Structures are given as C-alpha cells and as structure tokens.
Amino acid sequence: MYQKILCGLDGVSLYGVISICIFFGFFTGMLIWAFALKKTYLNHMGDLPLNSGENTDPSTNQNQPTKL
C-alpha cells in the first residue's frame, strides 16, 4: 500500500539520496569526533559514575566553599 503511494510521488528518489547523504555525513563526523577524543578525557568521563560526588582533582576545588 505505501509503495504505491510513494511511487506516485514525483521526486521521491531525490529524498532518498539526500537522506542517505545526511546520514553518511553525520555518521562519518561522529566517527571522526570519537576517534579524536583524548584518552584522559574518556577515562575521566568513564570514572564519573563511580565517584560518590568527591572531587579527586585538587585544581578544580577553587569554587567550592570550605567546611567549618
């Protein structure tokens, strides 16, 4: 049923080509971005769920209030 509707539309093949190009460009961009990430950043992000809210990097404690 849907094939008959889509075949009756003029220029529907153009939409298929455009959608494949957009998908391929997005997928390629995400692959390049994923491979360009630094290993230290990935390890830090991977350890975030395991930390119990404690900050292990002393250089980022500048804006936290001190406990009295």
Q: Is residue 61 part of a domain?
A: no
Minimal CA–CA distance to 56: which of 38, 37, 68, 43?
A: 43
**With pLDDT > 70 as the criterion, what percentage of the chain qualifies?**
59
- The per-residue pLDDT for range 33-60, each reduced to its tens digit, is 999 989 998 888 888 888 776 665 656 6
* Mean local confidence (pLDDT), 12-30: 89
The domain of 20 spans 2-48
DSSP 21-62: HHHHHHHHHHHHHHHHS-HHHHHHHHHGGGS-S----GGG-T
* Mean local confidence (pLDDT), 8-32: 85
pLDDT at 46: 86
Report how many domains make up the chain: 1
Q: Is residue 53 part of a domain?
A: no
Q: Is residue 16 part of a domain?
A: yes
Q: Is residue 54 part of a domain?
A: no
Q: Is residue 64 part of a domain?
A: no
At residue 29, does pLDDT exceed 90?
yes
Secondary structure class of 20 (helix, strand, coil):
helix
Q: What pTM value is reported for the model?
A: 0.50
